[in-house]
Amino acid sequence: MTHTDASAPAVPATGLSSAEVEQRVARGQVNDVPVRSSRSVGEIVRANVFTRFNAIIGVLWVIMLGVAPIQDSLFGFVILANTGIGIVQEWRAKKTLDSLAVIGEARPTVRRDGRAVEVGTSALVLDDVIEIGPGDKIVVDGVCVEADGLEIDESLLTGEADPVVKHPGDEVMSGSFVVAGGGAFRATKVGREAYAAQLAEEASRFTLVQSELRTGISTILKYVTWMMVPAAIGLVITQLVVKENDFKDSVARTVGGIVPMVPEGLVLLTSVAFAIGVVRLGRQQCLVQELPAIEGLARVDTVCLDKTGTLTEGGMDVTEVRVLDGGDPAYVHRVLGALGASDPRPNASLQAIADAYPDAGAWRRTAALPFSSARKFSGAAFEETEETGEDEKAGGGEARTWLLGAPDVLLGADDPALAETERLNEQGLRVLLLARAGRPLDDADPARGARATALVVLEQRLRPDAADTLRYFAEQNVHAKVISGDNAVSVGAVAAKLGLDGRTVDARRLPGAPEEMAAALDEGTVFGRVTPQQKRDMVGALQSRGHTVAMTGDGVNDVLALKDADIGVAMGSGSEATRAVAQIVLLNNSFATLPSVVAEGRRVIGNITRVATLFLVKTVYSVLLALLVVCWQVEYPFLPRHLTLLSTLTIGVPAFFLALAPNKERAQPHFVRRVMRYSIPGGVLAGAATFVTYLVARHHYSGDGALEAETSAATLTLFLISMWVLAIIARPYTWWRVLLVAAMGGAFVLVLVVPWLQDFFALKLVGMTMPWIAVGIAVVAAAVLELLWRLVDRRAPAA
């Protein structure tokens, strides 16, 4: 790709023409970095088809097709069906993600043919002139061509927390974002030459969500592989060498012993559960940018909420302007109108003022200081070209420079105007101070010596769903912390209106040491006057106490905290930068969507824990049976068709329904430990009881057909124990869970009583004595299993 540096011929401020854009597209000078989205269809197919266990099962399937009847090869068709289901479900999730990603995609404003137009990020070309303002992300590298108080935060790239003031000619880097002011820059590096693209694709530059579920399943599969290899080798030797049986029958029983060791459906069901979660949340306009974020939010125990845009709606209304010290109200209104008109990209407060006082007069702005969250105020100087009031003339030239911002920042602690501000804040109102500056805007401290002129009272609109959402988190033992840059008393009043009680703290009095800050955060609920860096420090302090922290926000002041939180949640109407670093974007801007995300995560975690136990019980008893067969040097008791039937009725079909069922249990840590704590005793009991039945049957039966009778008795015991495992896993019972377990039992009885099914699955109970012995052994094993699992439940640590 062609490289253009800052010394290249200047592009006019009007930007490129359509012809120049087409020339650059033809030369490949376009921003062709892959967008942060889901996997391609090809990647989905490869991920579902080319797996380690599919390779094992595939080889065994091919062998069985050559040496045994088709019913002993049914497991291969099950794998094909599973793989197909996995591909279809993930493809559906991909379509949902991609369509939502288009809605939430950043659309930079570029100048082309002398006009400002919005284009997709991938449509940018070299030398495009791109306009930027507060909250905009720098999407390609460039050189600043216009700057109006432009301040850019490069902390995500350099680690430097302080915003950098940019002037025409200065370099801007992709991956940074605007915190104050506005301007334009010319793209000098696009596509993979841009700085952020050289670091890595955007998704990988930010810390990805840790998925305990996926990590745990990978660990389990690693253990399974280690167990499978020696057991399978011993089984092959025993069945093919030691027992001089018919070759084809020996191969069939060897494969029958290896296949059930593979928990082939576990990975599939995890993927399907995540994918269906994405589709369900997508219907609610919730974009999950990293799939494990669904799981992560379900594990969260602390939610940090930004007030503006989260608890309150973005817009505000000016309810009153209180002029101080006998000033002229009409003149104050003109000043406010001029301030509103002077900012091309006003924030919500200034927009409300501009809407309330649209007549700015004919004043010319001579200097400006844009609002920033760290400063808490903005300012402008005007050259007044129309006649002004007497009060203004008396003030001299100083009165031409104005500041608008937080009263407690602009004024001294003993200023009488603060008492009035406090009273208004206690009502949940937002108050801004209009002050005459005593120093020029480029002074190191322009607020020093400011004189209060008027209080601007703004009313914030509470989100109608915020109270219910906060109540939901309280019921789920998730602590809510309101962290805002606004006045602490005002924020506390808003929180109280929403039913959130607790101590209100002014963040300027918070200790700086992480340990002391963490202690203060545990005690407090509402925090006001928080700077962007403090938000980040507060998230880190909570994490240092072992909390799993989610952060919600919509403004540039939230970006650093969103990035460092375990889960970042951005509003769809929020700034481009917040959407870029968040794992979850609420495109409908509804805070009420969060409980749905938590519920979806809990459904996935709880249900996968359930079905993982089912699958691993089968793996454990299969490995144990193989080892017992090797030690006793007997025929393996099952053909593949028997275990395909058992797996389908006691694991495959039930697991599919259980994995997708509603589940409101709170997510608990230590996935691997929890699953193994249940599956090992269950698998050991099932394997031992089944082998005991098999040995008893070998002594009981003799003559032709003895092996089939022995297998049938062992199958009955294993089925009954597996059904009891399923019955335990299905708790607490609902009508459909009871029906599910009963239907699986009924299907097995059908196989035992229908002659052609008996022949197809080679299952026929002979006599009365041995079948009842098999049932008795299964009942004893089930009772012991129930006792063991209750003991495990009692000793299990609380979540």
Q: Active-site residue numbers? A: 306
Q: Supply the angle between the helices 212-237 and 52-67 in degrees, to the nearest 10.
A: 30
What phi and psi values does residue 148 have, to the nearest 5 degrees? -125, 85
If you ran DSSP here, which 8-state letter would residue 30 be given? B
CA distance 711 to 421: 85
- Give dist(CA 112, CA 93) in Å, integer: 36
DSSP 737-758: HHHHHHHHHHHHHHHHHSHHHH
Strand order in the sheet with 503-506: 286-288, 584-586, 567-571, 549-553, 302-305, 479-483, 524-528, 503-506
Specify the residue for token string 């200023």: 415
Q: For residue 35, how many other CB atoms are within 10 A of its CB?
A: 16
Spacing of C-alpha 79 from chain mean position: 30
- The residue with tokens 């509603």 is 662
DSSP string, 298-328: HH--EEEE-TBTTTEEEEEEEEEEEE-TT--
Closest CA relative to residue 643, chosen from 659, 613, 621: 621
Distance CA 635, CA 489 (A): 78
What sign for the dihedral angle of Cα 339, 344, 347, 352? positive
Q: Report the DSSP pairing between strands 549-553 and 524-528.
A: unpaired
Exposed / middle / buried, residue 99 (Cβ in 10 Å: 0-12, 13-18, 19+): exposed
Distance CA 95, CA 420 (A): 55
Tell me how many degrees the CA angle 648-611-214 measures, rounded to the nearest 5.
125
- What is the C-alpha separation between 625 and 636, in angstroms, rounded? 8
Could you tell me what percentage of the chain is helix, strand and coil, using 3-state DSSP and rounding each to the nearest 5? Answer: 55, 15, 30
Q: How far apart are CA 13 and CA 130, in angstroms?
A: 10
The two structure tokens encoding residue 780: 């004893």
CB of 121 closer than 8 Å to CB of 35: yes
Return the number of other C-beta atoms located less than 10 Å from residue 710's C-beta: 24
Per-residue exposure over 267-301, b if at least 16 CB sit within 10 Å of its own CB, e if not: bbbbbbbbbbbbebbbeebbbbbbbbbbbbbbbbb
Name 795's Cβ contacts closer than 8 Å, sequence gap at least 6. Answer: none
